[in-house]
Amino acid sequence: MPQLGESIAEATVISWLVKVGDTVTAGQEVMEVETSKATLTVTSSVAGKIKKLIAVEGETYAVGNVLAELTTDTAPAKPAEDKPHFGSGSETTISTPSNTVEPVLQGLPVPVGAAGASYLSPRLKARMAELGLHAADLAGVAGSGANGRVTVEDFEAFVSRLEQNRLTPASSMRIAVADAMRRSWTRPIATVGMPVRLDALLAHRATLNPKPGPALYSLRALALALGENSAPAGRLVGSRIVHPSSIDIGFAVEAEDGVLVPVIREANHKTLRELVTRYNELVTLARERRLPADATGGSIATITNFGTFGLTWATPIPLPEQTLVLGLGAGSKVPCWDEEKKQFVPVMEANLTLSFDHRVMDGGAAGRLLGRVATLMQLPDAL
């Protein structure tokens, strides 16, 4: 199996284009294969007669595996570097190509051959558990084992290089957040977004005391939208969608060296005025890391106001047990066309984003849910 492209470690044989006894010429297409990136053909680098077909259609073979044998009367010329080639020959049989593939591209931040820890031997798993490491920590390691596997020796060399740098201990909260995000990212996550007008919201907020923050408006709007149709907040478990029994919405609060997510229960059944005191209380308790048990866990979605950091756009990741996270960016004055005045007028606008588990929901459903949330935010009296 030739190297069919940078970072391609294997390919699946789709079909043979020749059979035993066929005579082939140099450069003739002899088989069709499929990689993770494309379907293409493999050519013979020499002229000769097919002696034996070793590779089986439908099976996957790593770079360097022997696929076939042929007889040839002459030594093969060196194949062109820019073309996939079909082995190399002697008088009787194709010799096995080297399993070591030297990448053409140099200077990348991560080695081309770094396939990560796709396979972990029991010995390597034990060593990683001893150090508290996960497979994700080895994503940039180029393995020297068969088919690019990371060996214990590769791992020890990786750890040795790390120890040459300045190291500081991570807090327990940082480790917990990292573990949650690692588990979340095992799912296909997508994000959609749209601008939302904030003028009506800000005018409504000015009339209240205590004043709810923009994030609470978005939380209440999402709760109402999911109360109308809870399917987007369902979780895919096996072959079934698990629908939520209660619209419990969490909201992200930055704490020391991490993020906590207090939860407001049944947010669709409480008005904005009823929620504001509890919301402010939970923000304070989260920053003090004193959240009560009834205000943690079990939420079906999270609100994050990344606009407090001056960010206008972000792609937050839902928690492992959730399908949705709604994000609100920083507001800014932008021109908007006024049809009655026939001129542009300044309005306050922010980006609203929705990140979701793409297994549960597609872009259309996500767009409709986000549009409903945006509409409700512009009708603050209804919240």
Q: What's the token pair of residue 354?
A: 């929705």
Measured CA to CA, the distance from residue 61 to residue 12 in angstroms comes to 6
Give pLDDT tens digits along the chain (383 positions).
Answer: 887 765 567 788 999 999 999 998 888 889 988 876 567 788 887 888 999 999 999 888 887 888 898 888 755 444 444 444 444 444 434 443 444 444 444 444 545 455 555 667 788 888 888 887 877 777 777 777 766 677 888 888 888 887 888 878 777 778 888 888 888 888 899 999 999 999 999 999 999 999 999 999 999 999 999 999 988 998 888 888 888 989 999 999 988 778 889 999 999 999 999 999 999 999 999 988 888 888 988 899 999 999 999 999 999 999 888 999 999 999 999 999 999 999 999 999 999 999 999 999 999 999 999 999 999 999 999 99
Same domain, 332 and 204: yes
Domain containing residue 214: CATH number: 3.30.559.10
* Domain span at 333: 188-382
Kindly state whether residues 287 and 360 are assigned to the same domain. Answer: yes
As a whole number of angstroms, the distance between CA 154 and CA 118 comes to: 14
Instruction: Name the nearest CA neighbour of 221 among 243, 242, 204.
Output: 204
Q: Name the residue type at position 166.
A: R
Distance of CA 264 to the CA centre of its chain: 28
65 found inside a domain? yes
From 167, 199, 215, give the residue that closes a domain: 167
What kind and span of H or E run contains 178? helix 172-184
Tell me: do 288 and 144 sit in the same domain: no
How far apart (Å, rounded) are the C-alpha atoms in residues 61 and 216?
54
Strand order across the beta sheet in which 23-24 lies:
23-24, 48-53, 68-71
Q: Please give the Cα distance from 243 to 352 (Å, whole number).
A: 24
Q: Which residue has the tokens 């008005």?
A: 271
Angle 327-192-257 from CA coordinates, rounded to 5°: 35
- 183 lies in some domain: no
pTM of the model: 0.64
The reply to whether 24 falls in a domain is yes
196, 286: one domain: yes
Same domain, 122 and 221: no
Structural domains of the chain, count: 3
Residues 120 and 236 in one domain: no
Residues 142 and 215 in one domain: no
2 inside domain: no
